[in-house]
Structure formats: structure tokens, C-alpha cells
Amino acid sequence: MKHTLLAAATLLLLSLPEATACVGCRQPGTEGPVEPQTVTAGIALSWGVVGMLGIVLAIVGGLVYYIADTCRKLDRRA
């Protein structure tokens, strides 16, 4: 069950186009190793979105685990 939920969450994250940066933000800067500020901001924004999604998924995953554990304990008592 845990592996199924992990696989579903991974597929969901991989299928979200909003979690990736736009095409212009992913391209490396043309001025050598120093990238323009817009590209750096785009990279930071995309990682910020992924981080926020991770926090939300961690909270939801914790709640699902708590509910499943509580249901298992109730089934053992009955």
C-alpha cells in the first residue's frame, strides 16, 4: 500500500507542468557562467513551487497515515 501511494504521488508530481520552470527560465544564460538575474529568479521560483508542493504532500501523507493507522487499530479491537 505504501509503495502504491508513493508511486501515485510521484506520478502526480511528475505530471504537473506548473511545478517546472518555463522554457526561457530553464535555458542557461548566454553570458558564460554568470547567468542573468531573470534566469536565476526563474530557477529559484521553480524550486520554491516544488518545495511548497512537497510540504503540502507531506502534510496530506501524514494525515493519510494517521487515518490508516487509526482504522487498523480499531479493526484489531473489534
pTM (2 decimals)?
Answer: 0.45
Over the stretch 19-59, which tens digit does the pLDDT of each residue have?
555 555 555 555 555 555 555 666 666 777 888 889 999 99
Q: Smallest Cα–Cα separation from 42: which of 29, 30, 24?
A: 24
Specify the higher pLDDT residue, 64 or 29.
64
The C-alpha angle with vertex 8 and arms to 22 and 69, in degrees rounded to 5, equals 130
CA atoms within 13 A on the CB side of 46: 17
Report which of residues 14 and 58 the model is more confident about.
58
CA distance 2 to 65: 9
